[in-house]
Amino acid sequence: MEFGLSVYNSLSKKIDRVDGDPVGLYVCGVTPYDTTHIGHAFTYVVFDVLVRYLRFIGREVTYVRNVTDIDDDILIRSASRGMNWKELGDSEFALFQSDMAALNNVPPEVEPRATEHTPEMVAIIEALIENGCAYVSDGNVYFEVKRDGEFGRLCDVPYAAQLEIANERGNFPADPRKRDPLDFVLWQAQKEGEPAWPSPWGDGRPGWHIECSAMSTKYLGETFAIHGGGEDLLFPHHDAEIAQAVKATGKPFVHYWMHTGMVYHGEKKMSKSLGNMVFARDLLQEHSVDAIRLSLLNHHFRAEWDYEEERLTTAYPLVHMLTERLADAGEASDDDIERWGTPFLTAMSENLDTPRAIAELEQLALHGEVAAQRAGRALGSKVLGLTFAS
C-alpha cells in the first residue's frame, strides 16, 4: 500500500494532499538570543517528524531551516549583557544546535544565516523597487502593502485587524517615512553603533521578512512545496514573505503552509518578562528524550496547549513499555511494515496525526506477534524519532 500526505494548509484553509517530489521544506528557524524554549522544541520536533515520515514513505526532501542572526532583539539583548551581537548569536545558535541534537532531531540539509545572504536580499528589494511595490525613504526601503491587492492571504482579516496584529508583533505604525502604517521595512539604514552591510541605498541591515524570502528561494527555488513555522509567524511574517516573493518573481511562492500551535505556560505565552520560560536543555537533564518527544507529539501539530511538567511524568509508563518491548525487536522487513504498519502510517498521512500514530504504536508494542513489534520499532525510531532508551 502506498502512503502520501494530506495536511491542513493555512493558505487554502483546508486539508490538501501534498503532491510532487522532491519536496522542498523551509521552516523558520530561531533568532538566537533566548534558545531553546519548549515552544521551539514543539515546532522543530513536529517538522523533524514530518521530514522523517516523508522520507520513510520514499519522498525526497530538502529541509532548509534558517537562522535570523541579526535582529532588533539580538542587538537589545547583546547590549544588555555587554556582549558583541555576533558573539551572542553564535553562542546561542551553538546551544540551539546542541538542543536539536539532544532531542534527536535530524539536521536540515541547509541552515543559512541571514547575515551571509544580504546580496540575495538586496536583489529581491531591487526587483520590488523596479516594479513599483517598494519605495526608498531616507535610506530605508519599505514594501507598499497597497500595491498588493491580495496582501494578508494567510491571515484573511481586514486591514484594521492586520494593523492591530502587526503592531503587537513589532510594527512601527508612526514611522514618518512610511506611506502607510502597515508598510513594512525591507532595508533599514544604519543607526549609530549597529552593524551594517552595503546596499544601493546606503549601509544598513535587512528587515526580518525579506531574510526568509531570500534564503528560502535561494535554496529551494522560486516556488517550492512546504513552508512551516509557529502560528505566531503567520502574520505579518509569512504574509509579508508571500507578498515579497510573488511580487518580485511573478510566480507562486509556496504551495502548502503549515503552522504549529502556540505553547503556553500557566495559560500565558512564554516570555522572559513573565519569568515562565521552559527550556529544552533543562528538561533534558531531568527527563529522557523519548518522554519529551512523546509528550510533545501527543499534541496535534495545529493544537494550542499549556505546558505542564506533570505530563512528562505521565509519559513514563508508555516510554518504559515501548522500550521493554521494542528496543530489541530486531530489524523490520518490508513485509512486516506492509502487514502491521498500515494503521500507524495512515494516521501520519492524515494531517500528520501524531497522537493517533502514538496510539497505534502502543498497540504494535503490546501485540504478541514479533513481526508486529519489529514494525513498531521501525516506525517508532524512523518516523517518530524515538531512541527506545528509557
Do 365 and 278 share a domain, yes or no? no
Output the pLDDT for position 2.
Answer: 87
Residue 274 has pLDDT above 80, yes or no: no
* Average pLDDT estimate for 1-22: 95
- Find the CATH number of the domain harbouring 36: 3.40.50.620
Confidence of residue 328 (pLDDT cuts 50, 70, 90): very high
* Average pLDDT estimate for 172-193: 97
- Find the CATH number of the domain harbouring 338: 1.20.120.640
Residue 390 has pLDDT above 80, yes or no: no
Output the pLDDT for position 374.
Answer: 97
Please report whether residue 130 resides in a domain.
no
Residue whose C-alpha cell reads 520499532 in the numeric block: 377
Q: Alpha-carbon distance 341 to 367, whole Å?
A: 12
The last residue of a domain, from among 308, 329, 363:
308
Do 32 and 96 share a domain, yes or no? yes
The last residue of a domain, from among 274, 292, 308:
308
Please report whether residue 343 resides in a domain.
yes
pLDDT digits (tens, 9 = 90+) for 22-43: 999 999 999 998 889 999 999 9
pLDDT digits (tens, 9 = 90+) for 209-253: 999 999 999 999 999 999 999 999 999 999 999 999 999 999 999
Please report whether residue 362 resides in a domain.
yes
367: nearest Cα among 335, 325, 332? 325
Max Cα–Cα distance, the chain, nearest Å: 72
Do 330 and 360 share a domain, yes or no? yes
Do 25 and 104 share a domain, yes or no? yes
Do 284 and 371 share a domain, yes or no? no
Do 37 and 111 share a domain, yes or no? yes
Do 295 and 377 share a domain, yes or no? no
Q: Alpha-carbon distance 282 to 287, whole Å?
A: 9
Phi then psi for residue 17, to 5 deg, are -80, 130
Please report whether residue 354 resides in a domain.
yes
Output the pLDDT for position 273.
Answer: 63
Output the pLDDT for position 35.
Answer: 87
* Average pLDDT estimate for 139-144: 98
pLDDT digits (tens, 9 = 90+) for 39-98: 999 999 999 999 999 999 999 999 999 999 999 999 999 999 999 999 999 999 999 999
Q: Count CB neighbours of 240 within 10 A.
A: 26
Residue 271 has pLDDT above 80, yes or no: no
Please report whether residue 93 resides in a domain.
yes
Q: Alpha-carbon distance 161 to 331, whole Å?
A: 54
User: Residue 363 in contact with residue 381, Cβ under 8 Å?
Assistant: no
Number of domains in the chain: 2
pLDDT digits (tens, 9 = 90+) for 281-297: 999 999 999 999 999 99
Residue 1 has pLDDT above 90, yes or no: no
Do 333 and 282 share a domain, yes or no? no
pLDDT digits (tens, 9 = 90+) for 335-381: 999 999 999 999 999 999 999 999 999 999 999 899 999 999 999 99
The rounded mean pLDDT for the chain is 96
The last residue of a domain, from among 308, 331, 366:
308
Do 102 and 52 share a domain, yes or no? yes
Please report whether residue 152 resides in a domain.
no
CA angle 313, 315, 320 (to 5 degrees): 105
Output the pLDDT for position 272.
Answer: 64
Please report whether residue 141 resides in a domain.
no
Do 108 and 49 share a domain, yes or no? yes
Confidence of residue 269 (pLDDT cuts 50, 70, 90): confident
Q: Domain of residue 74: give its range.
A: 19-116+261-308
Output the pLDDT for position 363.
Answer: 97
Q: HEC states along the chain?
A: CCCCCEEEECCCCEEEECCCCCEEEEECCCCCCCCCEHHHHHHHHHHHHHHHHHHHCCCCEEEEECECCCCHHHHHHHHHHCCCHHHHHHHHHHHHHHHHHHCCCCCCCECCEHHHCHHHHHHHHHHHHHCCCEEEECCEEEECHHHCCCCCCCCCCCHHHHHHHHHHCCCCCCCCCCCCCCCEEEEEECCCCCCCECCCCCCEEECHHHHHHHHHHHHHCCCEEEEEEEHHHHHHHHHHHHHHHHHHHCCCCEEEEEEECCEEECCEECCCCCCCCCEHHHHHHHCCHHHHHHHHHCCCCCCCEEECHHHHHHCHHHHHHHHHHHCCCCCCCHHHHHHHCHHHHHHHHECCCHHHHHHHHHHHHHCCCHHHHHHHHHHHHHCCCCCCCC
* Average pLDDT estimate for 155-162: 98
Q: Is the Cα torsion angle 375, 380, 383, 387 positive or negative in sign?
A: negative
Do 33 and 111 share a domain, yes or no? yes
Q: Which residues on neighbouring strands pair with residue 24, listed in sequence order?
A: 62
Do 288 and 357 share a domain, yes or no? no
State how far the alpha carbon of 63 is from the alpha carbons of 92, 231, 251, 255, 310, in Å.
Answer: 21, 19, 21, 15, 33
Please report whether residue 165 resides in a domain.
no
The reply to whether omega before 236 is within 30° of 0 (cis) is: yes
